[in-house]
Amino acid sequence: MSTIKVEQVICSAGFTGSYTDDQKAIRDGACLDGLFYDDKPQTLGFRAIRQPGESVSVMLRLTDGLVAFGDCSAVQYSGAGGRDPLFLANDFIQLIEAQAISCLSGRPLTSFRELAGEFETVRMDDGRPLHTAVRYGVSQAILNAVAAAHRTLPCEVIADEYDQVLSERPVRIFCQSGDDRYLNADKMILKKADVLPHGLINNIPDKLGTKGEILLDYVKWLRDRIVHRRSNTDYQPDIHIDVYGTVGLIFNQDIPRIATYLDHLGKAAHPFAIRVECPLDAGSREAQCSALAELRTVLKSRGIAVEIVADEWCNTLEDIRYFADAGAADMIQVKTPDLGGIQNSIEAALYCKSKEIGVYLGGSGNETDTSARACVHVALATQPDQMLAKPGMGVDEGYMIMYNEMQRSLAILAANRRTE
Q: Tell me the per-residue pLDDT of 3-55, one tens digit each, with 9 for 90 and over.
A: 899 999 999 999 999 999 998 898 888 888 999 998 999 998 999 999 999 99
Q: Give percent of the chain with pLDDT exceeding 70.
A: 100
Quick one: 220 and 129 in the same domain?
no
Specify if 1 maps to a domain.
no
Statement to judge: residues 260 and 384 lie in one domain = yes
Question: Is the model's pLDDT at 356 over the cut of 80?
Answer: yes
pLDDT, greater one: 343 or 76: 343
369-405 per-position pLDDT tens digit: 999 999 999 999 999 999 999 999 999 999 999 999 9
Residue 343, in any domain of the structure: yes
Give the CATH number, domain containing residue 110.
Answer: 3.30.390.10
In this structure, the answer to whether residues 141 and 196 fall within a common structural domain is no
Among residues 160, 191, 214, the one where a domain terminates is: 160
Structural domains in the chain (count)? 2
Domain stop point among 160, 187, 217: 160
pLDDT per position as a tens digit, 129-140:
999 999 999 999
- Cis peptide preceding 197, ω within 30 of 0: yes
Say yes or no: 338 and 360 in one domain: yes
Closest CA to 136 of 174, 83, 201, 90: 83
186-227 pLDDT, tens digit each: 999 999 999 999 999 999 999 999 999 999 999 999 999 999
Q: Is residue 166 part of a domain?
A: no
The yes-or-no verdict on residue 100 having pLDDT over 60 is yes
Residues 182 and 55 in one domain: no
194 and 99 in a single domain? The answer is no
Whether residue 2 is predicted with pLDDT greater than 70 in this model: the reply is no
Q: What is the pLDDT of residue 32?
A: 86
CATH of the domain at 338: 3.20.20.120
Query: Does one domain contain both 243 and 390?
Result: yes
* Catalytic residue annotation: 335
Banded pLDDT at 237 (limits 50, 70, 90):
very high
Residues 191 and 123 in one domain: no
Q: Domain limits at 152?
A: 6-160
Mean pLDDT, the chain, rounded, equals 95
Is residue 133 domain-shared with residue 225, that is, in the same domain? no
Q: Which of 160, 189, 218 is at the close of a domain? A: 160
Instruction: Identify whether residues 155 and 303 lie together within a single domain.
Output: no
Residues 135 and 236 in one domain: no
- Note the pLDDT tens digit of each residue in 299-324: 999 999 999 999 999 999 999 999 99
Do residues 233 and 316 both lie within one domain? Answer: yes
